[in-house]
Amino acid sequence: MKTETEIFTSHSEEETRKFGHDFSGTLSGGNVVLLFGDLGTGKTVFVRGVGEAFGVDGVRSPSFTLINEYESPSGIFIIHADLYRLDSDGVSATGLDEYAGDSESILFVEWPERWLNPPSNSIRIYFESLTENEHTIRIERGLAC
Ligand SMILES: Nc1ncnc2c1ncn2[C@@H]1O[C@H](COP(=O)(O)OP(=O)(O)OP(=O)(O)O)[C@@H](O)[C@H]1O
Ligand SMILES: [Mg+2]
Summarised one tens digit per residue, pLDDT across range 86-96 is: 988 888 888 89
State the DSSP string of 80-109: EEE-TT--HHHHHHTTHHHHHT-TTEEEEE
> What confidence category does residue 30 fall into, taking pLDDT thresholds of 50, 70 and 90?
very high
For atom 19 of ligand 1, which residue has the closest CA?
A: 40
Best residue among 9, 33, 41 to mutate for probing ligand 1's pocket (most ligand atoms within 8 Å of CB) is 41
State pLDDT tens for residues 64-107: 889 999 999 999 999 999 999 998 888 888 889 999 989 999 99
Class (C level, CATH) for 7-139: alpha beta
Q: How far, in Å, CA of 4 to CA of 11, rounded?
A: 23
